[in-house]
């Protein structure tokens, strides 16, 4: 039985809406996972401005459908015990961008901890601006989160969620 024109249009709309659904709750790099494979627990023991510590494939954990990597078994266990404590704010998207009501990726060495919370930014420029008035940008980002994840639908450029490696 041939499909009617309305049936074809309905199917196209259904599939296109799945291709461009909201950005995933957690930003994840296609190849490296959350925070581009950097150990989120390690940030809490680093000096400000230090580069992030790369995670190891040996110490992986899936939380919120996203793969997280850690540099040691100890950091992996700390994360398992309290992932909300260590996970970056705004799902690991750029905090500065979230404050401006859009999402973008991060650069793992562009980070800051404020009030025991991890904030990541896209690059050195956005991090520098964020650090000048963090309370202002955090307040703005909190107002935009998580509704900012839906903005990509209007731009038709949402990031497709990445499949977890088995």
pLDDT tens-digit profile of 121-164? 999 999 999 999 999 999 999 999 999 998 766 766 666 554 44
Overall domain count for the chain: 1
- Which residues, including other chains, have CB under 8 Å from residue 19's CB and lie 6 or more apart? 160
**Greatest C-alpha distance within the chain:** 67
32 domain residue, yes or no: yes
Q: Which domain holds residue 28?
A: 5-155
* pTM reported for the whole predicted model: 0.81
107 domain residue, yes or no: yes
Q: How far apart are CA 42 and CA 58, in angstroms?
A: 16
- Which residues, including other chains, have CB under 8 Å from residue 119's CB and lie 6 or more apart? 88, 89, 90, 95, 111, 112, 113, 130, 134, 138
165 domain residue, yes or no: no
162 domain residue, yes or no: no
161 domain residue, yes or no: no
163 domain residue, yes or no: no
Quick one: pLDDT at residue 151?
A: 78
């Amino acid at each position: 039985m041939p499909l009617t024109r309305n049936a074809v249009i309905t199917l196209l709309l259904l599939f296109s809406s799945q291709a461009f659904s909201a950005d995933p709750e957690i930003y994840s790099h296609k190849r490296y996972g959350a925070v581009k494979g950097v150990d989120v627990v390690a940030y809490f023991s680093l000096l400000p401005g230090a580069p992030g510590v790369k995670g190891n494939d040996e110490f992986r954990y899936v939380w919120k459908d996203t793969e997280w990597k850690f540099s040691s078994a100890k950091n992996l266990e700390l994360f398992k015990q309290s992932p909300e404590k260590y996970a970056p704010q705004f799902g690991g998207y750029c905090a500065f961008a979230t404050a401006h009501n859009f999402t973008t990726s991060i650069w793992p060495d562009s980070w800051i901890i404020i009030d025991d919370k991890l904030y990541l930014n896209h690059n050195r420029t956005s991090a520098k601006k964020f650090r000048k008035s963090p309370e202002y940008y955090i307040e703005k980002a909190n107002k935009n989160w998580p509704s900012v994840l839906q903005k990509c639908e209007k731009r038709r450029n949402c990031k497709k969620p990445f499949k977890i490696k088995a």
